[in-house]
Amino acid sequence: MTARGKTPPRKEWLASVLTLYPEMFPGSLGLSLAGKALESGIWGLQALDMRDFSSHKHRSVDDTPSGGGPGMVLRPDVVATALDAAMPEDDGRPMIYLSPRGAPLTQKRVADLAAGPGAVLLCGRFEGVDERVIEARGLEEVSLGDFVLSGGEPAAISLLDACVRLLPGVMGAEASGSEESFENGLLEYPHYTRPQVWEGREIPKVLTSGHHGKVAAWRKKQAEEITRERRPDLWSTYRGDKQKDQSNESD
Ligand code: SAH
């Protein structure tokens, strides 16, 4: 880490992760697309061990919950010191606490984060973190979904994976972004590849017809059907948006 206040000017998208398990990073982010982008300096990753910011002997970071109950809670002083070290001056990066109580992560939020300078991510453990540090540092709470992980690290890795693949130069020729699930409010259409017939199942004829217009229409219809069946929530938003677009067009 660079000395406080002496952070050199930088261009890469920077992720600082606060964790009790720095050895979990880069983990899967060191491989494949994200790993290549990390190596080439498109993004940077700093994993900070919160125990390094404990002023206690035995480097303790947690204590029992006030009011009783099971488990342990991460202390606000330790978490705040670690956050302040991760971002000594406000450099525009949002500070995010991965938490099941947070707003569910969406592709829209991912795209906004990827367009910014990076993120500071706090990974909770045990019962979570003292509420006061969430308030005092204005942490945004982000959830991966309605289930409980044992720690924030897999959520941080997922969030970073989703952001990094959108950074310029990461997906390269595969920049298929605009047709993917969620990009246009729909789930994606099904994919097929060779062999032409597999276990008696054929690739839908339209896909091998060479007729781009028909392929596009088929894919759109499939995407709409899949979304309507599987995700009524997305479907009703999409239909609402579509109706708005149509009424705007007729204005
Ligand atoms: N007692 C908490 C759960 C703690 S789980 C509660 O009931 O809300 C321990 C840590 O795992 C949390 O602090 C958080 O950082 C992480 N975590 C668990 N589930 C998560 C989810 N769905 N999304 C993001 N982070 C999660």
* pLDDT for position 7: 54
Query: What pLDDT band is residue 1 in, cutting at 50, 70 and 90?
Result: very low
Give the integer Cα–Cα distance in Å for 166 and 37.
Answer: 11
143 pocket-lining for ligand 1 (C-beta < 6 Å): yes
* pLDDT for position 142: 99
Give the integer Cα–Cα distance in Å for 50 and 251.
Answer: 56
121 pocket-lining for ligand 1 (C-beta < 6 Å): no
> Which comes out higher in pLDDT, residue 58 or 2?
58
What is the set of domains in the chain, with CATH numbers? 2-164 (3.40.1280.10), 179-250 (1.10.1270.20)
| 52 Cα distance to chain centroid | 26
Lowest mean pLDDT among 2-11, 22-31, 157-166, 240-249: 2-11
pLDDT tens for each residue of 119-146: 999 999 999 999 999 999 999 999 999 9
Q: Whose CA is nearest to atom 26 of ligand 1?
A: 99
Which atom of ligand 1 is found nearest the CA of 101?
8
* pLDDT for position 2: 42
**Residue 251, CA distances (Å) to 76, 110, 240, 241, 243 in order:** 54, 33, 17, 15, 12
118 pocket-lining for ligand 1 (C-beta < 6 Å): no
* pLDDT for position 250: 61
CB-side neighbour CA atoms (13 Å) of 186: 20
pLDDT tens for each residue of 161-206: 999 999 999 997 555 567 789 989 999 999 999 999 999 999 999 9
96 pocket-lining for ligand 1 (C-beta < 6 Å): no
> Which comes out higher in pLDDT, residue 1 or 35?
35
Q: Whose CA is nearest to atom 8 of ligand 1?
A: 100
Mean per-residue pLDDT, 14-26: 98
Report the relative pairing of strands 197-198 and 201-202 from DSSP bridges: antiparallel
70 pocket-lining for ligand 1 (C-beta < 6 Å): no
Q: In terms of Cα–Cα distance, which of 147, 144, 93 is closest to 123?
A: 144
122 pocket-lining for ligand 1 (C-beta < 6 Å): no
> Which comes out higher in pLDDT, residue 177 or 69?
69
Q: What is the mean pLDDT of the chain?
A: 93
Give the percent of the chain with pLDDT over 70. Answer: 93
* pLDDT for position 183: 86
Give the integer Cα–Cα distance in Å for 3 and 126.
Answer: 30
Give the integer Cα–Cα distance in Å for 79 and 62.
Answer: 10
In sequence order, what are the residues at sequence separation of 6 or more whose Cβ sits closer than 8 angstroms to the Cβ of residue 131? Answer: none
125 pocket-lining for ligand 1 (C-beta < 6 Å): yes
pLDDT tens for each residue of 79-107: 999 999 999 999 999 999 999 999 999 99
Would you say residue 10 has pLDDT above 70?
Answer: no
Mean per-residue pLDDT, 224-241: 96
